[in-house]
Structure 1
Amino acid sequence: MPAPQRSNPAYRAIARLVRPVMMLVTRRDWHGAEHLPRDGGFIAVANHMTNVDPLTFAHFLYDNGVAPKVLAKSSLFAVPVLGRLLRASGQIPVFRNSARAGESLVAAEAALADGECVAVFPEGTFTGDPDLWPMLAKTGVARLALTTRAPVVPIAQWGPQDLLGRYGKVPRLVPPKRITVVAGPPVDLTDLYGRPLDAVTLRTATDRIMGAVTRQLAAIRGEEPPATPWDPRRAGRA
């Protein structure tokens, strides 16, 4: 399979190592690749259930011609070898709760301006929902989307939790797990462009984005999602 045009040598080296493993341990049920923009930068957002989500998310994008720049927690960049590979392939560190927290937004804006795909898990960490529905997300993705006006493509995935549990350490590799990934059309945020980036605007955009992801996930699961998302601050429904 040809590598995405925007993948650099380090990115392709990682793919040559990781992709064959993913092909062996998963059975891929992918849909909606036609919604991935082919010209210009865009933001890909997905739900987050387990540590293996970034791999299944990136696998879907990479095999559909997109080499995403994933916003990943900064501690991963301090891991020997892994950190070097992440930096060399252009991934973006997120410095949580520090004076450097804004650096990831600046780096993401630059990547989008350069025509890249920036991949984000808006929840920021694994969902706290007992049934693995998306929880109340942070507003960083909304700020990025409204500042850059880049298209936001909602992507729902289901099945990674069977490969590795939410807080699991040992993956379940046999038998191969069915991984369903569905991309939807870009979320319409045009009515919010030009409005002050206050709490109301950012929450409206965030909920609209995550609402699209949740509806796609509900279609995959064939279930009705909760009326309100899990709020991690209250450890209950928002």
Structure 2
Amino acid sequence: MTRVAETSPSTGSDAREPRPFVFWMLATIVVPLFGLLAKVRIRKGDSLPRNGAYILAPNHYTEIDPIVVAVAVWRLGRPPRFMAKESLFKVPVLGAALRATGMVPVARSSSSASARQTIAASEALVEHGRGVIVYPEGTLTREPGMWPMRGKTGAVRLALESGIPLIPMAHWGAQEIMARYGKKISLWPPRKLVTVAVGAPVDISDLVGRHTQPAALAEATDRLMSAITVLLEDLRNEKAPAERWNPASHGQKETGRLEP
């Protein structure tokens, strides 16, 4: 694994997005506890915008990934907001917490409902200057070597709807804390290295306004997954397979999706 220097957010005159009190409460618990398990080092953290809307698209290979990503985003000065299944917003207490933290609901009932929520979500992100984290693979990668597999269109649809920056992210090392599909956390040795890289926004400017066209969505998704893969290759110091893994071609079901 390539060891990289830890970076901190740049200090400029422009202010970062305010981080609501509820995030501070969670951070005072989660960040120190996770710090006992992992030493998170961030590379190219300045690629994450200081303010304004963005879509952050990370790779996904263990169940603990969301904590890794949330801690990294928090340390870079932005509140970590995820896309979450619409049904979760109807759960008492949990739903209120999701709404209070500005998480983004995603419909899974029909394509028309999903399309309406994509429009509403993108408009809300722009209006409030918020970012959202979307796993483009939709679930843990099925690729045997834990490389990014074929992506879904949820992240690029959001980005293309309103021209929001689409930012790739990759991290590596979380599998030493929790194995893929694992349920147990490895406590020893403590503070395992997890390296995070944030890439420059993916250029999909030529596809903006074409979010309803399958060919444009496929092209944008391919560009995004390629950008994530390049970041991960650098972190792992090895090359990914030439052909991206497609679960359907290998008789695998894609379950546990977090986005359409």
Global fold match (TM > 0.5): yes
Alpha-carbon distance between aligned partners in 2 of 1:96 and 1:159, rounded to the nearest angstrom:
31
Between 4-13 and 161-170, the greater mean CA deviation after superposition: 4-13
Question: Among 206, 227, 233, which residue is 1:191 paired with?
Answer: 206
| 1:92/1:108 contact within 8 Å kept | no
Q: String of CA shifts for 1:175-221, please: whole Å, max 9, x gaps.
A: 22211100011111112224463111000001101110000001111
Counterpart code for 1:130: P
Q: Which residue of 2 aligns with 1:229?
A: 244
Q: String of CA shifts for 1:73-101, please: whole Å, max 9, x gaps.
A: 34655666554433321212334345754
Counterpart code for 1:225: A
Q: String of CA shifts for 1:212-237, please: whole Å, max 9, x gaps.
A: 00000011111111112111222279
| 2:211/2:217 contact within 8 Å kept | no
Flag structure 2 segments of 5+ consecutive residues without an equivalent: 1-7, 9-15, 253-260
Counterpart code for 1:153: I
Aligned residue for 1:230, secondary structure, equals coil
Alpha-carbon distance between aligned partners in 2 of 1:109 and 1:172, rounded to the nearest angstrom:
41
Structure 2 residue 25 is matched with structure 1 residue 30: no
Question: Among 166, 184, 187, which residue is 1:173 paired with?
Answer: 187
Alpha-carbon distance between aligned partners in 1 of 2:23 and 2:105, rounded to the nearest angstrom:
16
Between 78-87 and 165-174, the greater mean CA deviation after superposition: 78-87
Structure 2 residue 138 is matched with structure 1 residue 124: yes
Q: 1:103 to 1:173 in 2, by over 3 A?
A: farther
| 1:68/1:116 contact within 8 Å kept | no
Q: 1:169 to 1:79 in 2, by over 3 A?
A: farther
Q: 1:75 to 1:171 in 2, by over 3 A?
A: farther
- Name the one with the larger strand percent: 1
Alpha-carbon distance between aligned partners in 1 of 2:209 and 2:58, rounded to the nearest angstrom:
25
**RMSD in angstroms over aligned alpha carbons?**
2.3
**Corresponding pairs, count:** 235
Q: 1:49 to 1:112 in 2, by over 3 A?
A: farther
| 2:60/2:148 contact within 8 Å kept | yes
Structure 2 residue 66 is matched with structure 1 residue 51: no
Alpha-carbon distance between aligned partners in 2 of 1:232 and 1:200, rounded to the nearest angstrom:
20
| 1:11/1:88 contact within 8 Å kept | no
Q: 1:222 to 1:111 in 2, by over 3 A?
A: same
Q: String of CA shifts for 1:123-159, please: whole Å, max 9, x gaps.
A: 1111110110001011111111111101111110111
Alpha-carbon distance between aligned partners in 2 of 1:218 and 1:21, rounded to the nearest angstrom:
29
Matches within 5 A, 1:66-85: 66-74=78-86, 77=89, 82-85=94-97
Alpha-carbon distance between aligned partners in 2 of 1:235 and 1:7, rounded to the nearest angstrom:
43
Structure 2 residue 230 is matched with structure 1 residue 215: yes
| 2:82/2:103 contact within 8 Å kept | yes
Question: Among 128, 141, 157, which residue is 2:155 paired with?
Answer: 141
Alpha-carbon distance between aligned partners in 2 of 1:184 and 1:34, rounded to the nearest angstrom:
9
- Please, what TM-score do these two structures have when normalized by structure 2? 0.82
| 2:72/2:196 contact within 8 Å kept | yes
Between 197-206 and 6-15, the greater mean CA deviation after superposition: 6-15
Alpha-carbon distance between aligned partners in 1 of 2:186 and 2:211, rounded to the nearest angstrom:
47
